[in-house]
Structure formats: C-alpha cells, structure tokens
Copies of this chain bind each other. A is one copy, B any other.
C-alpha cells in the first residue's frame, strides 16, 4: 500500500519557510502561499478562528486585524467556509506526510499502526519550518471546527469536486495498515474515521463537557491516545 510513500502529498514551501503541502487548487481563488498578504490571511485566519470561533469569524474582522480590506481577502478565498476547508485540507495532508515519515522503513504492520495512531491522536507540534503557522492554534481549530466542513448542505457538490480528498486519502492509508494486520476485519475505514473523529471529540469534551469522557485535562492527549489505541487493537484482534 502506501508504504513507499507513493502518492503522499509533496512537501514544498509555506510561510517563507521550507515546508508546505499541496492543497487542492479548487480550495482557493488565488494561492495564499504566493504572496505576503496570502500568508497573512492564513496566519491570522488560524489565530482569529482559534480566538473567536467559526461562527463569529468574518472576513471583515480578519481584514481589520491584518490591516487590509474585506475585498482583498475575498481575492484569496471565496468564503470563510472555503478558508476552513483549506486549513483542514492542509492539516490532513500534513498529517499524512507525518505518518508516512514516522512509519516508513518499519517492518511490522502492528508497529506502523501504533505509530500512525500516535500521530493521529497526539497534537501536532510546532514546526520550525513553518514559522507563520501556529500549529497549536491550528490543532484547536481543527478540534472545534473541522466537522463543520462537511456537516452542511454543500457536502455533496464539494465532494464531487474532490475537496475532501485529503481526509479520505488519510483514512484509507491508515485503514490499509489495518487490512494488512487483519484482512478479515470488516470495517477498517469506518474504524479509522471513527478514531480520527473521536480523537478530536474526546478532547473537546474534556474541555467543555467533561462528564462525557474519562479523558481529563491536562493529560487529555496521552489518555486519548491510550483509549483509542486500545480500542483499535482490540477491535481488529483476530
């Protein structure tokens, strides 16, 4: 399957730094990595989303913060929804790249699955090569807002355009490892998508609705990894 890293998103440059991922061109009007203004939109888009949440976030507020105009922001993204989709797509692409990096050259499928689950359930760490991206903030945005990319009427049309490709590819590639371990297991992709969603949700619950989970701050990441790793290995045990 994707062991050799074929088909994995290519690393190029974001934030004046050295690494970025290919994000589908349909997600933006003009590539935000191609100009200082675009990078500003990404950088402060993440920070503002983290601060005030998707519902209260507007291009007007973002424009004020980076001292540009609403119209200029619209030159890069058709809507705040597509900005969010861009960010999540970037995130999943990066996640797949990280998993690939962590698991290549590892023989045992079990070990690879364990590493992949670790990457999926631990927060992404600050990356020196992308100085403009606050990874911790992006991760919080993902936890709170990523479901909103697909829980809306436009899903089907957007899916037809391939805008969810990075998420689907990520789930598929982890599911492939499960199939390697137990080809008889009937729900590999469902299991992965459940784990990915649950990882975010449990951390959200830990912070906002703590009686819905045993995952507790400040060790939420660690116990989420433990909970979900155990869940997966028990589920696929022959």
**A interface list, Cβ under 8 A from B:** 52-53, 55-56, 144-145, 147-148, 150-153, 155-156, 159, 164, 167-168, 171-172, 186-191, 193-194, 197-198, 201-202, 204-205, 208-209, 211-215, 227, 230-231, 234-235, 237
Among all A-B residue pairs, the 6 with the closest Cβ atoms: A190-B213, A194-B198, A234-B234, A53-B153, A193-B212, A155-B208
Taking A167-B212, A215-B190, A231-B235 as contacts, is the C-beta distance between A152 and B201 under 8 angstroms?
no
Subset of 23 A-B contacts with CB under 8 Å: A53-B153, A55-B153, A144-B151, A148-B151, A150-B208, A151-B204, A159-B208, A159-B209, A186-B214, A188-B214, A189-B212, A189-B213, A189-B214, A190-B212, A190-B213, A191-B231, A194-B198, A194-B201, A197-B201, A198-B198, A230-B235, A231-B231, A235-B235
Q: Which residues of B contact A230 (CB under 8 A)?
A: 235
Q: Which residues of B contact A150 (CB under 8 A)?
A: 204, 208-209
Q: Name the contact of A211 in the complex, choosing from B147, B168, B186 (C-beta under 8 A).
A: B168
- Looking at chain A's contact residues, the main secondary structure is helix
Task: Give the most central of A144, A145, A152, A188: most B CB within 10 Å.
Answer: A152
CB distance from A207 to the nearest CB of B (A): 9
Distance in angstroms between the alpha carbons of A211 and B145 in the assembled complex: 21
Q: Is the CB of B209 within 8 A of A164?
A: yes
Taking A194-B198, A227-B190, A231-B231 as contacts, is the C-beta distance between A172 and B211 under 8 angstroms?
yes
Closest-by-CB residue of B relative to A145 is B151
CB distance from A199 to the nearest CB of B (A): 10
Closest-by-CB residue of B relative to A143 is B151
Taking A155-B208, A168-B209, A172-B211 as contacts, is the C-beta distance between A237 and B234 under 8 angstroms?
yes
Q: Is the CB of B190 within 8 A of A214?
A: yes
Q: Name the contact of A194 in the complex, choosing from B55, B189, B194 (C-beta under 8 A).
A: B194
